Amino acid sequence: NKRGFDHGDLVGGETLVNFFSSWCGPCRVEHDILMKISEEKTVRLFGINYKDQTQAAIRWLQELDDPFEKIVADKDGRAAIDWGVYGAPETFLINSEGMVVYRFTGPLNRTLWEQEFVPRIAELAN
């Protein structure tokens, strides 16, 4: 079941948590790299749907495909406040203890993924 996750779900493996919205242009731009990350399976990919309408988010993921292993809705932005998010997209790297070890604000692309995330994930895996 991919609906919802909590802190306990973040423990036990490296995880990316990505805040996204159907209304967010940069989120659409970064979607391709999220699909590739999902296919590569080097980390788990969880999504937090930020200040979005449920049906709009569902349609968006049906149209672009759904890269997320688990997903939760943050309709009122309360989770985003807890995470310290400025706006979508924003991506967090979580270690196997469930702690944030890196945060990236803005849309990811292949170069950023390979430069900023891949080395950190390799380090965590050791």
> Is the per-residue pLDDT at 24 higher than 70?
yes
Give the pLDDT score at 4: 84
For the chain, the first-to-last Cα distance in angstroms comes to 29
pTM for this prediction: 0.95
Q: Looking at residues 14-39, what average pLDDT do you find?
A: 97
> Is the per-residue pLDDT at 2 higher than 90?
no
Which pair of tokens denotes residue 124?
Answer: 């965590």
Q: What is the pLDDT of residues 37-82, one digit of tens each?
A: 999 999 999 999 999 999 999 999 999 999 999 999 999 999 999 9
Burial class (CB in 10 A: 0-12, 13-18, 19+), 15: buried
CA distances from 29 to 21, 35, 37, 82, 125 (A): 12, 12, 14, 25, 28
Q: Looking at residues 85-97, what average pLDDT do you find?
A: 95
